[in-house]
Amino acid sequence: MTSDALVTVSQAYAWEVCGGVKGDAGAAGHGMGLSSLLRQRSADLRGIVNGIDTKEWDPRTDPYIPHNYHEGGYGGAGGWASGVRGC
């Protein structure tokens, strides 16, 4: 396997594909025959929640959006409107 990094859909699934499901006799099947290789490459294996790295793609700090926001507010609708018009 040639890659710098290996990514799964979640940390839990990264653990599962390496054969780490407690109490599951068929755990090795989660890695589709690659469990031993994935265990060898475990330092390169990451699980990303919903396919994104929430630290890198954080709307509170993202420098590539016109106005940062968070779950409690949008920073004012006027800022978003001008950002969208500029696209």
Which DSSP helix (H) or strand (E) runs through 46? Answer: strand 45-47
For 32-73, how does the pLDDT look when each residue is reduced to its tens digit (9 = 90+)?
A: 788 888 889 989 998 877 667 778 889 899 898 888 888 877
User: CA separation (Å) from 3 to 7, 37, 44, 51, 60?
Assistant: 10, 13, 9, 18, 31
15 neighbors 22 (Cβ within 8 angstroms):
no
Q: What is the pTM of this model?
A: 0.46
19 neighbors 6 (Cβ within 8 angstroms):
no
For 3-31, how does the pLDDT look when each residue is reduced to its tens digit (9 = 90+)?
A: 899 888 888 888 888 887 654 544 556 78
Output the average pLDDT for the chain: 76
6 neighbors 46 (Cβ within 8 angstroms):
yes
